[in-house]
Structure 1
Amino acid sequence: MDEKLSLQDWIGLAQERNMSFGDFCVEFQAQELEITKDELLQRMETMLKVMEESIEIGLSGIKSMGGLVGDNAKRMENYRNEHAGDSIVGSVMSKAIMISLAVGEANASMGRIVAAPTAGASGTLPAVLFSLAEARGIDLSALAKALVVSGAIGMIIASRATLSGAAGGCQAECGSAGAMAAGAAVELYGGSPAQVGQAVAMTLKNMLGLVCDPVAGLVEVPCVKRNAGATAVAMTAAEMALAGIESVIPVDEVIDAMSAVGNAMSCSLKETAQGGLAVSPTGLAWANKIFAR
């Protein structure tokens, strides 16, 4: 069995070398891939451009393949325009919600997206990155470095647990996406390596046990709106971490707990559409309607 990666170890190495976690991850990943740091960041910038394109697809009002979702990102955009300065959650979070819905709807309509870490959880990371970038005037190169950080976090979660909803429930998909986004947000705002780890831990702690119960087996309901929920959790965790709030349970142990919870979860709650919302009366009615086409 391969040795598990450790976020705590990576954070410790960054601290020992007096590096930001972003700089450490860029150097480490470039060496692993045997490319230059500039080449790595250029790859990240290409992915960011795909994310931007997927946002545009979602905001066009496109409908999903199953017909369960569509237009909600556009509705959110219209609401933001009509209620500028009058948002319950504030303009940055409101923008993040809109982006998460847009990318989720782009995915559900077979649009091109960046799996982050999966297609079903692809809306959370771009939502956090681009909403914060606009609010703070963050350039593409800084976003690229934050994307490397998010990828490193995803690698470690995959090593210690899973990124698959079929194996670990939606905690492994939207939960991991939220953790990746929270760590990236801390990096963008100049947080320490330790604060990156705290943000990851607090995000996953708040999403432990989240089931994967897609209606009709499609990555539409409740998946798209769960991306918005994961976005909110990620930004909350990042804010707490930057404030100096810490997780009592170390981050590696939180990831391990997520793995254990996923293993204990009934298979009916892991992407089989045999439990949860998928077998609600309305969920079953939609499934019958879709499969009768």
Structure 2
Amino acid sequence: MPEELNYHSLAGLVRAAETAAQPLSALVLRQQAAQLEQTEAEVFHRMEENFRVMAACIEPGCDPDLRSTSGLTGGDAAKMRRRVEAGQNLTGPVLGGALYRALAVSELNAAMGRIVAAPTAGSCGILPAVLLTMQERGAAEHDCVMSMFTASAVGMVIAENACLAGAQGGCQAECGSAAAMAAAALVELSGGTPRMLDDAVAIALKSQLGLVCDPVAGLVEIPCIKRNAAGAAIAFMAAELALAGIGSRIPADEVIVAMRRVGNAMSPALKETAEGGLAATPTACRLRKQVFG
């Protein structure tokens, strides 16, 4: 029953979708509407507003003159977009489009623009990048919005069994989780089965297991913005493999638990403290002095 849907495990959600012979998003929407005592149309409209905020980030995020308050980042999305639109990029319009959109949303975030955390501000560019790229390829806005319910379900399972915060689990918990959520959304948008969704989540998370959180100068800019681009690429890769019928030997739920254990084992210097990793390099130290004196 939809009202009994829980987020203890992804396997449980997959079974529920298989039993109902419906996309996971439909079950999540129904259950959320019941919990919030709203109609499904009302809950859908709220998610639709989030999607449109994401979409509205692209143009300002691609402004070549955009700069963060620190002055460290901005303008890269415009460079990537020009290359894609000129047909010069190596990977074609799909991956190229996702790359510049991930940069655009992340750079707008660093410049204090309006964004949707998905699931965090530091990983805000990944889910919008893949969904808006799919919309450009012909996916209906309604279907993109519905896939966000599937992505949110994956995020809730990760939050319950591991974490979503870089300060707790490293960047694997932020960009890794966002890539897993985006991969799940891509599978649903592409007509994949619930079982493929589980595989895509596992593959995406495995590909970023152990990723540290080491923001230069303590700011969510370097290397965070480019990791959003990488996360979007990983989401497409994971979805492609899963849709081809390539499974993950390790189930998604076990990968999530492994991510939690890896995060717990990380040094505090590698969990958003800006004391280790790239944040401790000579160039990063120079940039910190440049920004803060």
Coarse TM-score class (shorter-chain normalised): over 0.9
Contact 2:120 2:164 in 1 (8 A): yes
Bigger mean CA offset, 271-280 vs 30-39: 30-39
Write the distance in 1 (CA, Å) between the matches of 2:191 and 2:25: 10
Write the distance in 2 (CA, Å) between the matches of 1:167 and 1:284: 23
Write the distance in 1 (CA, Å) between the matches of 2:181 and 2:63: 27
Bigger mean CA offset, 24-33 vs 39-48: 24-33
Write the distance in 2 (CA, Å) between the matches of 1:190 and 1:178: 18
Contact 1:30 1:37 in 2 (8 A): yes
Tell me which of 72, 80, 84 is aligned to 1:80. Answer: 84
* 1:23-42 → structure 2 map (5 Å cutoff): 23-42=26-45
- Cα offsets for 1:26-85 (capped at 9, x unmatched): 222222222221111111110011101111221123101111110000111111222x1x
* 1:38-49 → structure 2 map (5 Å cutoff): 38-49=41-52
Q: Per-residue deviation at 1:218?
A: 0.3
Aligned to 2:266: 265
Write the distance in 1 (CA, Å) between the matches of 2:186 and 2:7: 25
Contact 2:83 2:89 in 1 (8 A): no
Tell me which of 131, 134, 157 is aligned to 1:132. Answer: 134
Contact 1:50 1:114 in 2 (8 A): yes
Percent of aligned positions with the same letter in both sequences?
49
Please state if 1:50 is matched with 2:53: yes
Tell me which of 6, 9, 12 is aligned to 2:15. Answer: 12
Give the letter aligned to residue 273 of structure 2: T
Q: After TM superposition, what 4+ stretches of structure 1 lie above 3 angstroms from structure 2?
A: none
Aligned to 2:156: 155
Aligned to 2:69: 65
Write the distance in 2 (CA, Å) between the matches of 1:174 and 1:288: 27
Give the letter aligned to residue 54 of structure 2: M
Aligned to 1:182: 183
Bigger mean CA offset, 20-29 vs 114-123: 20-29
Q: Per-residue deviation at 1:4?
A: 6.7
Q: Per-residue deviation at 1:287?
A: 0.3
Aligned to 1:96: 98
- Cα offsets for 1:222-269 (capped at 9, x unmatched): 000000001111100000111111111111111000000000000000
Aligned to 2:3: none
Aligned to 2:214: 213
Give the letter aligned to residue 63 of structure 1: R
Write the distance in 2 (CA, Å) between the matches of 1:256 and 1:34: 32
Write the distance in 1 (CA, Å) between the matches of 2:34 and 2:267: 40
Write the distance in 1 (CA, Å) between the matches of 2:148 and 2:193: 16
Q: Per-residue deviation at 1:90?
A: 1.5
Contact 2:200 2:239 in 1 (8 A): yes
- Cα offsets for 1:186-236 (capped at 9, x unmatched): 010111111111100100011000000000000000000000001111100
* RMSD of aligned residue pairs (Cα, Å): 1.1
SS at match of 1:120: helix
Q: Per-residue deviation at 1:87?
A: 2.7
Would the alpha carbon gap of residues 160 and 4 (structure 1) be closer, same or farther in structure 2, given more than 3 Å must change? farther
Gap regions ≥5 residues in structure 1: none
TM-score by length of 2: 0.96
Please state if 1:203 is matched with 2:204: yes
Contact 2:215 2:224 in 1 (8 A): yes
